[in-house]
Amino acid sequence: MQGKLRWGDFVICAVVLALAGLITLPFLFQPSDSLTCEIKQGDTVVKTIRLADGYQDTITLTAGDITNVIEVDGKSVRFASSNCPDQVCVHTGTLTRAGQMAVCLPTRVVVRLIGEDTTVDAVAR
């Protein structure tokens, strides 16, 4: 009968499992490295960037007559400049680790780093 198991069936299972293992391997070796930068304005996610060495990008966001310039340089992100009155976003400095966050209140722009390797759950400031 066709339902009776043959040797090849075990080969199939083995191949499937091996494939699964093979794909898991690179994830096992560098799980903590992955760092994603999420840029939100209000309730909408403007951009999601997978950070990597050598990657450079400049994102300009505006609200009214206020302009935020966000700079991505390799695995770090910062508010490079902003013409908002309080400058809290610029003063926050450079984000380099998962869990870190910078906010510009007047433009409602939130920049946060997301990743597995969070050293802290939140920062009191």
Q: Which DSSP string corresponds to 16-71?
A: HHHHHHHHHHHHHHSSTT-EEEEEEETTEEEEEEEE-TT-EEEEEEEETTEEEEEE
| E strand or H helix that includes residue 18 | helix 7-29
Neighbours of 124 (CB within 10 A): 4
- Is residue 91 near other proteins by the rule CB under 8 A? yes
Does residue 64 interact with other proteins by CB under 8 A?
A: no
* Identified binder of other proteins from the candidate list 23, 30, 64, 65, rule CB under 8 A: 23
User: What is the x/- site pattern for other proteins, positions 104-123, by CB under 8 A?
Assistant: -x--x-x-------xxxxxx
Q: With respect to other proteins, which residue has the nearer C-beta, 28 or 54?
A: 28
47 is a site residue for other proteins (CB under 8 A): no
Give the shortest CB-13-to-other proteins separation in angstroms.
6
Q: Judged by CB under 8 A, does residue 5 bind other proteins?
A: yes
Determine the 3-state secondary structure of 108 from DSSP: coil
